[in-house]
A = this chain, B = another copy of it.
């Protein structure tokens, strides 16, 4: 098998293992946390009934009641009547939680209740976070050819100067990402989530794809959501593709910075240039510029750059 075929096989293997790892995480989290959640949910029901059966409610008893309500809520268990039917630890929700762990988004709308769950979260993320980074890196590498190298080549063939071609390409890619991964999903979320405005949608997309994940807006957590499990799977796919595109943008920007001497100016490591597929078709077709892409624009100002690579 040739190296391109092997590289695609490796990527397919990675993605397959990624999905299996998420399923494994979902099964473990669900089996650890579900019983604890059920107990807490039952305790809260009893607590609420006891509170309602009191002959008189005073400030102290209300305070005690609210402390317990808010503690349970911190773990994602609500005392409200209409939210008691959906579990935070069914298979789809557990998979969603596992996904927010390994992508480091970490909304925290549900968090492990038990010590076993916390310990497993550490173990799970310890393997999952680097592996997810690996899968994203490998995926982005395959996307570099169709989404970066080919379009820049086309721009150059249309007569654009190599430097301008990279800038125009970055702007076009940025517009595409903003349209497909921010504006369009925000519109969809503002329709599907009754209480979200369009700004809320944009805010969710941005906070998620930067992996900040504040968790004040999480899709599929409202009560009575139709096809909730399918919806959660779709959001997970959106997150993965979105993170991939963010990483692609970052890498394209880094490559452009190299070319325009910005990396050298800030004295930062240059973008790596060792992808076999990319090497076959350099980012810039012009031979001289191809060389410029791998060397700082003012080599005289950094005489010791790249001595290892050339050693």
Contact = CB atoms under 8 A, between A and B. Distances in A.
Contact of A213 (B79, B108, B290, B305): B108
B62 A273 contact: no
Interface residues on A, range: 35 or more
Given A80-B67, A212-B125, A276 B291 contact: no
Nearest to A272: B269
A134 B266 CA distance: 9
Most chain B CB inside 10 Å of its own CB: which residue of A199, A309, A311: A309
A279 B308 CA distance: 6
Given A141-B268, A213-B106, A309 B294 contact: yes
Nearest to A270: B274
Interface in A195-225: 197, 199-200, 202-203, 206-207, 210-216
Contact of A275 (B52, B70, B269): B269
Nearest to A271: B272
A52 B141 CA distance: 61
Contacts of A212: 100-101, 104-106, 125, 129, 213
Nearest to A142: B267
Contact of A106 (B214, B274, B308): B214
22 contacts: A7-B267, A59-B81, A63-B81, A66-B80, A70-B73, A106-B207, A106-B213, A108-B213, A118-B200, A119-B199, A125-B207, A138-B268, A141-B268, A141-B269, A269-B274, A270-B272, A273-B306, A273-B308, A279-B306, A291-B308, A291-B311, A294-B311
Interface of A: 3, 6-7, 10, 48, 51-52, 54, 57-59, 62-63, 66-67, 69-70, 73-75, 78-81, 100-101, 104-108, 111, 115, 118-119, 121-122, 125-126, 129, 134, 137-138, 141, 197, 199-200, 202-203, 206-207, 210-216, 266-276, 278-280, 282, 287, 290-291, 293-294, 302, 304-311
